[in-house]
């Protein structure tokens, strides 16, 4: 069969369903045959497109978006012969969101339409609701709020119970996305509807099992409280938290304290002492002692971050659980390390070690160690921070990220090099701006001996994705493209290509 030139409406060959998309790329030097359907060939095409983009950066964003869509279109079936429809829907909506972010609005709308049509035609009802609700979130992020709301209102239609819970959750996720992308006025408009809908969810809707339980109404309301806080409606957020309760699991083996969850969500987004003390005034009204203690711990730490050490100590002192109180005081003290000598800092570490022996297996101990490590870095007691990292492996990511923030990127990479966990790399790499260190990170991940039985390809792909995205962010577009070439996972490759395309466009507009 005669090859089809990419100069002819490239994306018209990549349609899913009946939507024809206008050409995004004109690459007359490359050819594509309609039979190219394997993931391996799609990867080769992506590599060729990257090389072409590097030679002509003005067109590279469009080319990279085209490659992203092509790889998505050609994702292979799994070992059971099942097409990865849900994955395709997610990736297409992500690509469309990136397109919209760089002004390719018409193309983005059509790719969104493709994603929705594919989900409706190929997914069962349960998966359809789950995946299309995420498409709605991407639509909102991209600025298509009306379409996002229309789509959400067509989902979760089986019965009133599923409809109210499902739509309230989906709409609140849209509000979260609007806040995250700075669309605060739009978020303000949607949130009252979300709150009204959440309050229609029956209080007995949920589940109870051995070790866990859930009340769907409370689950949604606590999530709404955090969004209310971010929209400067703190008192209403506190009222919402006071309206929820807790649930107990079967056999009293566990449960869920929704007031605690709601309070921690509120506190996590507050920064001013005045707002934090407003929240502290509500703490005595909470039902459970654990919720009171955990809330005061978080408030004390936040006050310390804001430089209000005296108020922080007063709040921490009100905690009536000895272990939580002692660890809270330790965290509060850690924020004064910048004023301490190395000898005094070592004494704090010794105190923390003694507390850890007195109160083993406390989550709050890990939190305190992290606060100590980060503040040791800020105080430039680097050797002591590395000592903490060596003995407390679960806080390595926080210490490494802070090392990168204060201009010690190579030390940060040295800390995470032995760690074969993609989440650690994903939390640290975005803080590294030094190109030499990022290049070294690329080499380390390629050479890392990962266990095939533990999803080596996925782990390596996620690590390389983080590196590619950060390379693009610091302006190293060609290197980011080179990293993308060797990403084994097609999903992560698509995400990298879309991120690079967005960065290329942003650089060109500066």
Per-residue confidence band for 28, with pLDDT thresholds at 50, 70 and 90: very low
Q: Is the pLDDT of residue 22 over 50?
A: no
Using a pLDDT cut of 90, give the percent of the chain over it. Answer: 72
Closest to 428 in 3D by CA, of 447, 448, 443, 414: 414
- Residue 51 has what pLDDT? 47
Question: For 70, how many CA atoms within 13 A lie in the half-sphere containing its CB?
Answer: 34
DSSP at 247 = E
**pLDDT tens sequence across 172-196:** 999 999 999 999 999 999 999 999 9
Please give the Cα distance from 272 to 137 (Å, whole number).
30
Per-residue confidence band for 362, with pLDDT thresholds at 50, 70 and 90: confident
Q: Is the pLDDT of residue 468 over 60?
A: yes
CA 79 from chain centre, in angstroms, equals 29
**Helical residues (DSSP H) of 14-153, grouped into ranges:** 39-55, 57-73, 85-101, 105-122, 125-141, 145-152
DSSP at 250 = B
Both tokens of 9, joined, read: 């409406």
**pLDDT tens sequence across 302-327:** 999 999 999 999 999 999 999 999 99
Using a pLDDT cut of 70, give the percent of the chain over it. Answer: 87
- Residue 251 has what pLDDT? 62
Residue-range domain boundaries for the chain: 426-510
Cβ-contact 402, 411 below 8 angstroms: no
Cβ-contact 206, 228 below 8 angstroms: no
**pLDDT tens sequence across 44-76:** 444 444 444 444 443 578 889 999 999 999 998
Query: Residue 208 phi/psi, 5° resolution?
Result: -135, 130
Number of H helices, E strands in the chain: 25, 6
Cβ-contact 75, 501 below 8 angstroms: no
Per-residue confidence band for 3, with pLDDT thresholds at 50, 70 and 90: very low
Please give the Cα distance from 238 to 225 (Å, whole number).
7
């Amino acid at each position: 069969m005669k090859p089809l030139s990419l100069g002819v409406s490239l994306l018209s060959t990549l349609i899913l369903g009946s939507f024809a998309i206008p050409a995004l790329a004109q690459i007359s030097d490359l050819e594509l045959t309609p039979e190219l359907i394997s993931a391996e060939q799609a990867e080769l095409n992506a590599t060729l497109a990257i090389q072409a983009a590097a030679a002509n950066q003005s067109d590279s964003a469009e080319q990279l978006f085209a490659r992203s869509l092509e790889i998505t279109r050609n994702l292979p079936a799994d070992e059971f012969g099942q097409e990865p429809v849900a994955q395709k829907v997610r990736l297409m909506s992500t690509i469309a969101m990136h397109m919209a972010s760089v002004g390719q609005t018409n193309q983005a709308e059509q790719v969104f339409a493709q994603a929705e049509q594919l989900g409706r035609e190929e997914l069962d009802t349960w998966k359809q609701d789950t995946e299309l609700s995420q498409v709605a979130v991407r639509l909102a992020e991209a600025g298509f709020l009306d379409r996002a709301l229309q789509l959400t209102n067509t989902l979760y239609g089986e019965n009133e119970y599923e409809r109210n819970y499902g739509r309230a959750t989906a709409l609140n996720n849209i509000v979260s996305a609007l806040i995250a992308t700075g669309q605060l006025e739009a978020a303000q408009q949607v949130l009252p509807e979300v709150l009204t809908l959440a309050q229609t969810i029956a209080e007995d809707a949920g589940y109870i099992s051995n070790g866990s339980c859930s009340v769907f109404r409370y689950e949604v309301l606590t999530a709404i409280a955090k969004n209310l806080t971010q929209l400067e409606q703190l008192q209403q957020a506190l009222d919402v938290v006071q309206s929820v309760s807790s649930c107990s699991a079967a056999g009293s083996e566990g449960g869920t304290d929704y007031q605690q969850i709601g309070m921690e969500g509120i506190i996590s987004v507050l920064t001013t002492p005045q707002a934090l003390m407003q929240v502290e005034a509500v703490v005595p009204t909470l039902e459970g002692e654990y919720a009171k203690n955990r809330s005061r711990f978080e408030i004390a730490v936040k006050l310390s971050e804001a430089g209000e050490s005296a108020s922080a100590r007063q709040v921490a002192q009100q905690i009536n659980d000895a272990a939580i109180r002692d660890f809270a005081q330790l965290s509060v003290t850690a924020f004064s390390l910048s004023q301490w000598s190395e000898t005094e800092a070592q004494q704090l570490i010794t105190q923390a070690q003694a507390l850890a022996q007195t109160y083993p297996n406390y989550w709050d101990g890990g939190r305190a160690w992290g606060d100590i490590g980060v503040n040791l870095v800020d105080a430039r007691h680097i050797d002591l921070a590395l000592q903490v990292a060596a003995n407390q492996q679960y806080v390595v990511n926080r210490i490494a990220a802070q090392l990168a923030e204060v201009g010690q990127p190579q030390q940060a990479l040295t800390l995470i090099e032995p760690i074969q966990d993609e989440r650690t790399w994903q939390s640290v790499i975005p803080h590294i701006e030094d190109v030499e260190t990022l290049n070294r990170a690329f080499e380390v991940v390629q050479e890392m001996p990962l266990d095939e039985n533990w999803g080596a390809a996925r782990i390596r792909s996620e690590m390389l994705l983080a590196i590619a995205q950060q390379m693009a962010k610091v302006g190293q577009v060609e290197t980011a493209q080179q990293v993308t070439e060797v990403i084994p996972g097609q999903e992560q490759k698509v995400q990298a290509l879309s991120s690079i395309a967005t960065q290329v466009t942003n650089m060109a507009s500066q």
